Amino acid sequence: MKFKAACLHVIVILGLALPGALSAAAAAKAKTLQLVGFGDSLMAGYQLPTTQSYTALLEKALKAKGHDVAIANAGVSGDTTAAGLSRVDWSVPDGTDGVILELGANDALRGIAPAETEKNLDQIITRLKARNIPVLLAGMIAPPNMGGAYGEGYNGIYERLSQKHGIALYPFFLDGVVGQQGLQLEDGMHPNAKGVQVMVDRSLPAVEAFLASIKPAQ
């Protein structure tokens, strides 16, 4: 009788505990990944409706492939890496699961020394890592009119930082758009809605790989 009573007691305890454990596991599994797109006008969606920004179209594409994600747009038109550094602590909220970091284009347009750009990006990544926030770094390429010496100093920044910090790299954020008039606004620099979709399509494999690296084990 004592043995049967003990078994019954264990069964009752398990019956009470398991629903909570199962619901907690289900909640963890159902957790929406919170991403932040942190960058300049290319991230913000310059002169485009918010629904056609890179973050909006990327979120839509990821959800269509079954990913449970929400992507906040923390792009600010005109931002340099220095401006990004000054706001990264409050533009990326606590609870963020990952950041797509895209900055540096305005540095190149303004002729800011590549060493300064690299230093600022290094500090941004360092601050995010200190908060245990993974980073996918989106690279840029210096405009040809800046000259060969400038381009040589600038174009290696993103690969160096990726290797230094052990973070994922998407080499060129504007891949497939640069030089394509039908994919750009009249200024010849910013993508139009079609151009943003090309950017999303090109970067999607890298973003999916990034998501796989930060999702909790099931």
Q: Is residue 210 included in any domain, yes or no?
A: yes
Average pLDDT over residues 54-75: 98
Residue 15 lies in a domain: no
The DSSP bridge pattern shows strands 135-138 and 168-170 to be parallel
Average pLDDT of span 162-186: 97
Burial zone of 187 (CB within 10 Å; 0-12 exposed, 13-18 middle, 19+ buried): exposed
pLDDT number for residue 29 = 54
Task: Please indicate, yes or no, if residue 16 is contained in any of the structural domains.
Answer: no
pLDDT classification of 16: cutoffs 50, 70, 90: very low
Mean pLDDT of all residues in 21-40: 73
Average pLDDT over all residues of the chain: 90
Longest dimension (CA), the chain: 90
CATH (domain of 112):
3.40.50.1110
pLDDT at position 28, please?
Answer: 47
Average of per-residue pLDDT across 109-127? 98
Q: Does some domain include residue 101?
A: yes
Query: Does residue 106 form part of some domain?
Result: yes
- What's the alpha-carbon Rg for the chain, to the nearest Å? 22
Segments forming the whole domain that contains residue 78: 31-214
pLDDT category at 49 given cuts 50, 70, 90 is very high
Give mean pLDDT, residues 185-197: 96
The C-alpha atoms of residue 11 and residue 124 are separated, in whole angstroms, by: 52
Count of alpha carbons within 13 angstroms of residue 132, beta-carbon side? 3
State the sign of the Cα–Cα–Cα–Cα dihedral 64, 93, 41, 179. Answer: negative
Task: Round to whole Å and give the CA distance between 206 and 210.
Answer: 6
Among 178, 142, 144, CA closest to 157? 142
Is 175 labeled as catalytic in the residue annotation? no
Query: At 154, phi and psi to the nearest 5?
Result: -85, -45
Selecting among 40, 79, 107, 190, the annotated active-site residue is 190
Is pLDDT of 6 > 60?
no
Instruction: Give the model's pLDDT for residue 30.
Output: 64
Q: Please give the residue that has the higher pLDDT: either 6 or 136.
A: 136
Decide if 24 is inside a domain: no
Number of domains in the chain: 1
Question: Between vectors from CA 81 to CA 121 and to CA 33, what angle results, nearest 5°?
Answer: 65
Whether 20 maps to a domain, the answer reads no
Rounded Cα–Cα distance for residues 154 and 213 (Å): 28
Asked if residue 33 has pLDDT above 90, the reply is yes
38: three-class secondary structure by DSSP:
strand
Domain membership of residue 3 (yes or no) is no
Pair 177, 184: CB distance under 8 Å: yes
Q: Which residue has the higher pLDDT, 157 or 22?
A: 157
- Using the structure block, give the residue that is written with the tokens 């000259």: 147
Q: What is the mean pLDDT of residues 104-119?
A: 98
Q: Residue 67 catalytic? A: no
Q: For residue 26, is pLDDT > 50?
A: no
Query: Which among 40, 41, 97, 107 is annotated as catalytic?
Result: 41
β-pairing, 135-138 vs 98-102, is parallel
Distance CA 103, CA 126 (A): 15
**Helix H segments across the chain?**
2-29, 41-44, 54-64, 81-91, 105-109, 114-130, 148-154, 157-165, 193-214
> What is the pLDDT averaged over residues 53-62?
98
Q: Name beta bridge partners: 35.
A: 71, 98
Q: What is the pLDDT of residue 23?
A: 46
| pLDDT the model gives residue 13 | 43
Active-site residue flag, 68? no
Q: Which residue has the higher pLDDT, 12 or 178?
A: 178
Specify the pTM. Answer: 0.86
